[in-house]
């Protein structure tokens, strides 16, 4: 069976989505849509898609696809997500899911009311190194994990491809913080409390471009998350996240250059976990591009009923809540406890 899908938003990142869909068995993008008709038509031609539209409502009503992939920026998500769900489509929404918890909740409720699956395109947890780390944690290789450090610090010019990032008031936490919080939940479980402090390092951007957050998980484990878009290293690291997980039986270190070091009771082993560069991909984006393809293959499994969404809108709403709590903590200089916040 081949599921019929549509893609909404033919901008920078949608190219990765589209290439990945074209290499995903079981799914076909039958139409693309952008509110800029010339952009939609160019995208259609570049990828050899059957139809292009400039109005998502017209496209959804005309085609009634099995799934819709929304690759627009955050302010457009509630309207588009509700539209796609109302036409019966499994709906995928790019991150950030929503600008506010209330807007995210509205979309989760719309999915429940429509009886349709809603996924958030949260691809960091689908990156090959994190798939390996999760498998190692699950098999008990390092015992019970009690500490995680995630470090996403680079100096790559992200504003060249995504100029809107320089203009937003909320930058690093909403752009990448929520990816890292999702990874923390993926590896260590749900979070009880968070404290966070932010920095604005590059004076040419409006929002915070660095932060450090401390998460306490429900089982007592802790995670330290560090992020900066203005760090200088001899060898640029973008878009790698470095990680360290410590458990009572060993540790795992994800080092620069995709080296996964496993510390057992008496051995240290090192493995190369660099993902392949997709045929359509380019370095250094291959880490993200391969994860987009892994996520999309997962969407077909969800459509088949063989998997549950990773992550669902409902799950990602709590990650958004954490991100909102991080801003509140940074503003108020306090630790935020999640239960009353949600």
Binding site for ligand NAD (CB under 6 A): 8-14, 33-36, 39, 56, 71-74, 76, 80, 94-95, 121, 123, 162, 288
From the CB of 56, what's the least distance to ligand NAD, in Å?
5
Query: DSSP characters for 319-330?
Result: HHHHHHHHHHHH
CB of 54 vs ligand NAD, minimal distance in Å: 7
| Binding to ligand 89Y in span 217-256, by CB under 6 A | 239
Secondary structure letter of residue 125 according to DSSP: G
Question: Of 121 and 128, which CB lies nearer to ligand NAD in the complex structure?
Answer: 121
Nearest to 40 by CA among 83, 73, 84, 72: 72
User: CA dihedral in degrees (28, 107, 77, 321; nearest 10)?
Assistant: -120
Q: Which residues contact 278 (CB under 8 A, 6 or more apart)?
A: 19, 20, 23, 286, 289, 290, 293
Nearest to 42 by CA among 11, 64, 21: 11
In whole angstroms, the minimum distance from the beta carbon of 60 to ligand NAD comes to 11
Output the smallest distance, CB 96 to ligand 89Y, in A.
9
Per CB under 6 A, the list member of 60, 120, 158, 184 interacting with ligand 89Y is: 158
Whose CB is nearest to ligand 89Y? 158
User: Residue 176 interacts with ligand 89Y (CB under 6 A)?
Assistant: yes
Q: Which stretch binds ligand 89Y (CB under 6 A): 49-57, 174-182, 275-283, 311-319?
A: 174-182
- Smallest gap from Cβ 242 to ligand 89Y, in A, equals 15
How far lies 207's CA from each of 63, 150, 335, in Å? 40, 21, 21
Measured N-to-C along each axis, helices 56-63 and 77-86 cross at an angle, to the nearest 10 degrees, of 20
**Under the rule (CB under 6 A), what is the footprint of ligand 89Y?**
158, 162, 175-176, 179, 239
């Amino acid at each position: 069976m081949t599921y019929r899908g549509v893609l909404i938003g033919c901008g920078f990142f949608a190219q990765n989505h589209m290439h990945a869909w074209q290499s995903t068995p079981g799914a076909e993008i039958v139409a693309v849509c952008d509110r800029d008709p010339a952009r939609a038509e160019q995208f259609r031609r570049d990828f050899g898609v059957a139809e292009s539209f400039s109005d998502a409502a017209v496209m959804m009503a005309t085609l009634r696809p099995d799934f819709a992939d929304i690759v627009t920026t955050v302010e457009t998500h509630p309207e588009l997500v509700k539209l796609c769900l109302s036409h019966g489509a499994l709906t995928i929404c790019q991150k950030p899911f929503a600008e506010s918890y209330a807007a995210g909740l509205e979309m989760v409720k719309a999915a429940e009311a429509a009886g349709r699956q809603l996924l958030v395109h949260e691809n960091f947890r689908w990156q090959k190194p994190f798939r390996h780390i999760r498998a190692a944690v699950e098999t008990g290789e390092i015992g019970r994990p009690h500490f995680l450090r995630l470090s996403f610090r680079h100096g790559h010019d992200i504003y060249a491809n995504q100029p809107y990032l320089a203009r937003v008031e909320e930058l690093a936490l909403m752009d990448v913080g929520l990816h890292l919080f999702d990874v923390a939940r993926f590896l260590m479980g749900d979070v009880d409390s968070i404290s966070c402090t932010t920095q604005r390092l590059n004076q040419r951007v409006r929002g915070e471009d660095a932060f450090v957050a401390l998460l306490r998980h429900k089982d007592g484990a802790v995670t330290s998350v560090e992020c900066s878009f203005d760090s200088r290293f001899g060898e640029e690291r973008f878009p790698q996240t470095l990680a360290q997980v410590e458990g009572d039986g060993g540790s795992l270190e994800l080092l620069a250059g995709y080296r996964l070091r496993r510390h057992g009771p008496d051995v240290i082993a090192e493995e190369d976990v660099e993902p392949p560069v997709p045929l359509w991909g380019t370095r250094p984006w291959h880490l993200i591009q391969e994860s987009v393809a892994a996520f999309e293959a997962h969407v077909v499994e969800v459509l088949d009923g063989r998997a549950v969404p990773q992550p669902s809108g409902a799950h990602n709403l709590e990650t958004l809540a954490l991100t909102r709590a991080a801003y509140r903590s940074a503003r108020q200089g306090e630790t935020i406890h999640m239960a009353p916040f949600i």
